[in-house]
Amino acid sequence: MKVLKQVWNWFGSIAISFILVVFLGVFVFQSTKVMGHSMDPTLHDAQRVYVSKLSHTFNYEPNYEDIVIIDSRVELKRTFKNDLMDSPLLSLFIKGDDKHVWIKRVIGKPGDRLELKDDKMYRNGELLDEPYINEAMRANGNKQWTVPADHIFVMGDNRNNSMDSRIIGFIPLDHVLGKKLF
């Protein structure tokens, strides 16, 4: 009887620890790995980054130049189930595809008018100072975007090798899963 009680106590402790780790990973903090070279030279392939999930939990709008993780499936309506499935701990037990989680930099916020002109980015008519980009951008022509309400525009720092808002469009704020801490 004593052994059974001890096993039950161990099981309870492990279950509580598991729930706490999942809670922290979904709502507060998680680590993620950079996949690819779209954020070179700032972040490198296979580098581990730590992300605050508080902006997603409390619906904070990110700031310009913040590095954020996003759900690139912009047509998908995000639910709590998506948040659970994107949790690193649960992904150990439930095989999922995390290729939709991208790391990018915030270039435009709701209401901003963005313009790609002569291989340079402008926000609301002002040339962006972007010392973090990998190399001069080589764009195919000039383009303009106006960021709609409740969306952001993101780009990789390696502009010539990045899938970002130029291709998939604006990112709904509920698809901003977190902000890079370090």
Of 164, 182, 160, nearest to 49 by C-alpha is 182
Paired tokens of 151: 């969306």
The per-residue pLDDT for 157 is 94
What is the DSSP code (8-state) at residue 30? E
- State residue 88's pLDDT score: 64
Torsion of CA 96, 79, 170, 173, to 10 degrees: -120
For 15, what's the count of Cα atoms within 13 Å in the CB-facing half-sphere? 6
91 noted as active-site residue: no
Quote the radius of gyration of the chain (alpha carbons, Å): 19
Place of tokens 């972007």: 130
Q: What angle do CA 72, 78, 81 make, to 5 degrees?
A: 115
Tell me the one-letter amino acid at 45.
Answer: D
Cα 56 to Cα 8, 40, 59, 109, 174: the distances in Å are 36, 25, 5, 15, 7
- Give catalytic status of residue 13 as yes or no: no
Residue identified by tokens 């047509």 is 75
**Contact criterion met (CB below 8 Å) for 86 and 177:** yes
Residue 36 has φ and ψ, to the nearest 5°, of 105, -170
Domain 31-78+99-180, CATH class in plain words: mainly beta
Q: Where are the domains of the chain?
A: 31-78+99-180
pLDDT of residue 66: 94
Write out the chain's pLDDT in tens, 182 residues.
Answer: 788 888 888 888 888 888 887 777 777 777 788 888 999 999 999 998 888 887 877 778 999 999 999 988 888 888 877 777 776 655 555 655 567 889 999 999 999 999 999 989 999 999 999 999 988 888 778 899 999 999 999 999 999 999 999 999 999 999 998 888 76
Active-site option among 72, 87, 104, 179 = 104
